[in-house]
Structure 1
Amino acid sequence: MTSQFPNTLTPKMVEGIKGFNLCTFLIGLEGWRRGLTLKYYSDINQYSDIHTQGKKLMGRNYSLQSKDKIHYFNQSRGDMVSNEAVRIAQSKQKTKDYLEKGNVNILPSKEFDKTHSDVDIIKLAREIGYPVIIKPTYGSLSKGVMLNLKNDSELTDALKYVRGQLGYSNVILERYFEGADIRVYVVNNVAVAALRREPPKVTGDGESSIEKLINEKNESRKDNPYLAARPIKIDKELKDVLRKNNYKLSSILENGKTIMVKNKSTLTQGVDLYDITDTVPEHVKQLAIDTLNALPNIIHGSIDMLFDGEEAVVLEVNASANISMHMFPTEGQPRSIASFLMDFYFPETKGKSSNHTNMYFDFVDIVNTLKQNYTNYVEVKSLPQPPLYAKKYIVTGEVQNVGYRNWIRRQATKRELHGYTKNLKNGNVVVVVASHEKEKVDKFKRVCKKGSKKSKVSDVKSSDWTKEIKMGFEIKDNITKKKKEVDKKYINELLTELKETQTKLENAKKMQEELRMERDSYKDKLSSIRNSTSWRVTEPVRVIGGLLKGKTKVKN
């Protein structure tokens, strides 16, 4: 059962936002709702030396500013986290070295590079004893992390996959510890959130195949912005897990029987997330705090651990962790890491976001604007002063296909109102407007009643509006899913045609250039011949020849 959507967000607000962009939107939204100035950058390093990951990942670099200060962010990491700490956290081996010095409870392990053979790794595994873990020295999102390898054969297969197929030549071998996979997020020496991550599982109903149960579970996760992007993948690993337990995709699970369909709780493999913030023991929270303190200047971040109910061991530290998983767990209370971060970076704004919990901005449009390279940053327009008043007006009469909505948008924009207008299937038009000035909102009913020149308004009914309001004013269209697919296909066909035309033009230009060069070459040759000694010497002969030809022509 997926947890309820946080009351500060709605599905429309996060529509189309995925991965780390969801983290940056959540933090930006929280700060913006508190009245801070929010900017998203194409190249943030023109303004800050904050370490960035990836090249021009639009939407992941941003700043928040009050009257007195400005802070820069990359993904979920702010500039109060040192660049040195980021580089250390990116290397599991360097992290381990610091944690050992800080007496943090970790597992015995050793790093191997490309000069070491798989045989060297297997030899050490025998020495420290199975089961073991193999993982890339440099990696993220648990990619290539292979857990609970019980013998030489399983370790050999894992090495072929990690070092061969995935291409991670530098790996770490670690003693396996049996325990729950948990993540704790710490901000300024406080463990503010904790999750337990479990490999994906399905529960039988006595009728459905395992494949159908997987598909149904993936479908149920689509309402969760974080989990929707991480479905259970039917791949080789899943089939191997089923085969080891004498199941197939076509097998029917008995009613109430639950089985795991993956070996590990990787973030890309349909993981289930359970909030345990209120139940995780204090000594585990303290271990997370001590872990960050063992690293230089990392004031906030996540700590991955294994916990067997009594003892916990640290696996790794993430300076740029994905925080949206805490906001959208499979079960349990959503935890707004964004709120804790804003409380830390801008403590004077604490509690102010509650004035605008139904306001949001078009993040997808901002990202698309940055991708066009027209500007290096986009500043989100500031919020109106609280409190916000909003009304919905239903307009009846001859109000469709007469320019009514365009007219309404101009009137709303002129009055600095936020909201939208939309045609309804019954021929009416809906208008939603919001402002901190109640009088403006109320008076807009008269504007709706007046209408555009060609429209004929017969009635306007009003009601309070308490749902989400996007910054600015827009015209919404009733576009069905089928029409979207048709439009997408049409656009793709146009793009293909455009690409083919561009190719033809480029080929034509290339041919034109080749002909121009050939022409210039002949001109140069002709000029060279005319300036040559032989050309000048033979000139009288050519003149006489020309005259003779002329006489011949006259005779004829």
Structure 2
Amino acid sequence: MGHRADQEISTVGQAELIDGGEDLLMPAAAWEVGEKLLKGLLFKDVPLGDAGQAQAFIDAMTLSEASEIAELQESPGREAFERIRDAVKEAFVMFSAHDAPSRDDLGRMLETKLPQVNRYFVAPEPTAPHFQGEPANVFEDAPFIEPLPKDGTKGHLLEREALRYGMASTRYPNGAFVVTDLNSQKQLGFKWGRSPLASGVALSICSYKEATRRLLKRIDVPVPHGRVFSTADRDLAVQYADRIGYPVVCKPVAGLRGIGVVANIQNREELEDALTLYQQSQLGDDDFVIEEHVPGEDYRIVVIGDEVVASVVRSAASVTGDGMHTVADLIEYKNRARQENPHLSSRPITLSESLQYQLKLAGLTFSSIPEAGQTVLLANSANLSQGGDSFEIADEMHPSIKELAVKAVQAVPGLGFCGLDMLIEDHRKPVWEQRCTVIELNAHAAIGSAQYPMWGTPAPVAKKFFEATAAASEITLPEHQSKRLTLRFDIRGRVTGVGYRKWFGKRARRFGLTGYVKNASRKRVEAVVSGPADAVSALGYLATTGTTKAVITSVVMTPVEDPLMEQFQVMKTPTLRGLLRRVKRQVSQLF
């Protein structure tokens, strides 16, 4: 889609990137060149509606841009680019035609097609998100974390800290890993973000929201009034909400990532809609909680031992209008900004039924064009997994709020680490001047949100978490961490004859690493990898995945001397014929 200053509406060209029911391979280069074509057509004074000049411009740009990119030389990359190029031409040629799509046509297209579209582009693109004049944070390790599975980032960050302290690590494909202190031979076991700092009992208590609420209420930690209901008690839940008064919150009794949560429900009709949405969610068969909606901003406070080490205030997913772009445009480019954040890249704003419900409450649709400066809320809960924004503010938080947070965490036996959720009116004021309410305790490591806030100073949560875990096991860590690593990878499983070495070498080179990979035996591959700690440790995590035919059982990473190689090499496996020739040569030399 494209806009020109002297034109009121945009037009649309579609590129179907599916062939025979299967998705076409979509190189990033094809996408980038497609965007350059549209921007060039809009800003190079190519006459609107002039198909000949548009085609000439596209052909010239294709020669100068696309033909120089290796990924676009052969199918299917070439085919993907050609479809994008044709869509750009179609949109541009129709831009000022008499039968060009109207705003209503554009709206119908967005409402019906958008849920099926993974990505699109507009020109000019919306301004990148800012907060109080500051752009979003940029993180150097984002390219290395981006390929990792969403739920594995927590564990990877902890493993990276251990490797930087000179430890060895054995990683398994189920998210578990064990790090070994090479001096004392003591070991620490982790599973995703779970560690010895949180006991099984603590995990069980925190995962059941009603048990947590009752425990905290017993020690005078403020919690919202609420009750648990089964799915068969829907009418009783509505009556209870009527009795305690609106607004209320509906949420699963045991859940993660804000799934099924609907906040700030204003009346019975909205509650009925919220309960229907809950039943349609993936937790819809579970018990749910109806509780009072407490005013205040949503905070995730990270507590390790008796110290608050980070605090992130979260705001609900939103976009800001500019008077030119549609809500759909603004969502697309807000998601692009989130892709630059290691924690938020796998948590985009999704075009869900709950999002459409939120837009409906505001009288908007995907094709609406908000006024400049207008904030459009896209969710009713401040959850990062639902597209929310994050701001690190621990340095500004009043000491009395920190004391309350520590008190709440210490109420749960065996909980040495916690991500505590609170609703606070103003984090700079003491608790006795406002209402501060604890709404949830999370025993699973809440590392990423504080380590990678969208705005504010990042907190080294993973480092402090790992250091506390080591101290609890009486492991003495070195005074400094290494910025570069050289590790020997011992990779076991079905890893020979399945293209694993080639796959491994491609990713090592993509990360800018040096070293080598080779077959060590029929069920074992060995590699030595050297480079920045962020990249080497991320490759260690990826090594447990491999090709579709590979089955990895374990990856052991041990510190070794740097082989000082200039590039990364995939060493060939000697063939039987080659071995026979070598034996013949050796025998002939003896005689």
TM interval, short-chain normalised: 0.5 to 0.7
One-letter amino acid matched to 1:342:
F
Is contact 1:197–1:271 with CA below 8 Å preserved after alignment?
Answer: yes
1:165 and 1:338 map into 2 onto residues whose CA distance is 32
User: By how many angstroms is 1:237 displaced?
Assistant: 2.4
Partner Cα distance (1:5, 1:346) in 2 = 30
1:11 equivalent to 2:138? Answer: no
Distance 1:165 1:201 in 2: 22
The 5-angstrom pairing of residues 16-35 of structure 1 reads: 16-35=147-166
Give the counterpart letter for 1:28 in structure 2: E
SS at match of 2:466: helix
The equivalent of 2:117 in structure 1 is none
Does residue 462 of structure 2 align to residue 349 of structure 1?
no
Does the aligned pair in 2 maintain the 1:226–1:324 contact within 8 Å? yes
Supply the RMSD in Å over aligned alpha carbons.
Answer: 2.5
Question: Could you list the per-position Cα deviations for residues 65-101 of structure 1 after superposition, in whole angstroms to 9, with x for gaps in the alignment?
Answer: 3533221112222113111111111111111222122
Q: Is the 8 A contact 1:21 1:59 kept in 2?
A: yes
Change over 3 Å in CA distance of 1:66–1:278 after alignment to 2: farther
CA–CA distance in structure 2, aligned partners of residues 303 and 350 of structure 1:
30
Counting only pairs closer than 5 Å after superposition, residues 18-417 of structure 1 correspond to structure 2 as 18-42=149-173, 58-68=174-184, 69-114=186-231, 116-166=232-282, 167-309=284-426, 310-347=434-471, 348-349=476-477, 351-356=479-484, 358-359=532-533, 360-361=536-537, 362-368=539-545, 376-382=553-559, 384=561, 416-417=562-563
Aligned partners of 1:122, 1:4: CA distance in 2, in Å? 43
- Deviations 1:459-517 (CA, angstroms, capped at 9, x unpaired): xxxxxxxxxxxxxx4469xxxxxxxxxxxxxxxxxxxxxxxxxxxxxxxxxxxxxxxxx
After superposition, the Cα gap between the structure-2 partners of 1:165 and 1:18, relative to the gap in structure 1 and judged at 3 Å, is closer
TM-score w.r.t. the length of structure 1 is 0.63
Bigger shift: residues 96-105 or 131-140: 96-105
Q: Work out the CA distance in 1 between the residues paired with 2:423 and 2:479.
A: 34
> Could you tell me whether the CA contact under 8 Å between 2:167 and 2:558 is conserved in 1?
no
What one-letter code is carried by the residue in structure 2 that aligns with 1:136? P
> In 1, Cα distance between the equivalents of 2:335 and 2:477?
39
Conserved? CA contact 1:143–1:266, under 8 Å: no
Instruction: State the AA in 1 paired with 2:453.
Output: P
Q: How far apart are 1:274 and its partner, in Å?
A: 0.8
Letter in 1 for 2:338: R
Residues 18 and 225, structure 1, Cα contact 8 Å, conserved in 2: no
- For residues 327-382 of structure 1, the C-alpha deviation after alignment (integer angstroms, 9 at most, x for no partner) is 22111111121110122123432652255383223134332169978664321121
Following superposition, which runs of at least 4 residues in structure 1 exceed 4 angstroms of deviation?
369-376
What is the 5 A alignment of 1:483-502?
none
Q: What are the superposed Cα offsets for residues 376-400 of structure 1, whole Å, 9 maximum, x if unpaired?
A: 432112154xxxxxxxxxxxxxxxx
Give 1:30 shift. Answer: 0.9
Native 8 Å contact 1:202 1:213 kept in 2: yes
Q: Distance in 1 between matches of 2:554 and 2:441?
A: 31
Would the alpha carbon gap of residues 299 and 99 (structure 1) be closer, same or farther in structure 2, given more than 3 Å must change? same
Residue deviations 1:509-542, cap 9 Å, x none?
A: xxxxxxxxxxxxxxxxxxxxxxxxxxxxxxxxxx
TM-score normalised by L of structure 2: 0.60
- The Cα offsets for residues 224-266 of structure 1, whole Å up to 9 and x where unpaired, read as 1221111112233223322322323222222233222222222
Unaligned runs of 5+ in 1: 43-57, 385-415, 422-472, 477-556
CA contact (8 A) 2:544 2:554 kept: no
**Contact preservation (8 Å) 2:209, 2:253:** yes
> Matched residues in 2 for 1:217 and 1:267: separation?
13
Distance 1:365 1:230, change over 3 A: closer
Q: CA deviation at 1:18?
A: 3.5
Alignment match, 2:11: none
One-letter amino acid matched to 2:158: I
For residues 258 and 418 of structure 1, the distance between their equivalents in structure 2, rounded to whole angstroms, comes to 53
Deviations 1:90-133 (A, max 9, x none): 1111112221222211111111234x521111111112111111
Task: Provide the rounded CA distance (Å) in 1 between the counterparts of 2:137 and 2:564.
Answer: 27
Distance 1:87 1:35, change over 3 A: same
Q: Secondary structure at the match of 1:213?
A: helix
C-alpha displacement of 1:204 = 2.0
Greater Rg, structure 1 or structure 2?
Answer: 1
* Structure-to-structure mapping, 1:422-441, within 5 angstroms: none
What is the Cα deviation at residue 29 of structure 1?
0.5
Structure 1 residues 230 and 291, CA, compared in 2 at 3 Å: closer, same or farther? same
Q: Against the structure 1 CA distance between its residues 355 and 205, is the aligned structure 2 distance closer, same or farther, given a 3 Å change threshold? A: closer
Q: Deviations over 1:405-427 (max 9, x none)?
A: xxxxxxxxxxx425663xxxxxx
CA contact (8 A) 1:35 1:383 kept: no
Change (3 A) 1:374 1:218: closer
Contact 1:327-1:334 at 8 Å conserved across structures: yes
Q: Contact 1:64–1:72 (CA<8 Å) still a contact in 2?
A: no
Whole-angstrom distance in 1 between the partners of 2:246 and 2:357: 21
- Residues in 2 aligned to 1:133 and 1:257: alpha-carbon distance in whole angstroms: 26
Contact between 2:257 and 2:386, CA under 8 Å: does it hold in 1?
Answer: no
Give 1:170 shift.
Answer: 0.7
Match of 1:411 in 2: none
Does the CA-based 8 Å contact 2:349-2:386 persist in structure 1?
yes
Distance 2:136 2:479 in 1: 24
Amino acid of the structure 2 residue aligned with 1:217: K
Say if 1:218 and 1:365 are closer, same or farther in 2 by CA, change over 3 A. closer
Structure 1 residue matching 2:312: 3-state secondary structure: strand
CA distance in 1, matches of 2:302, 2:380: 24
Q: Cα gap change, 1:258/1:318 in structure 2, threshold over 3 Å: closer, same or farther?
A: same
Over 3 Å counting, the alpha-carbon distance change for 1:60 and 1:272 in structure 2 is farther
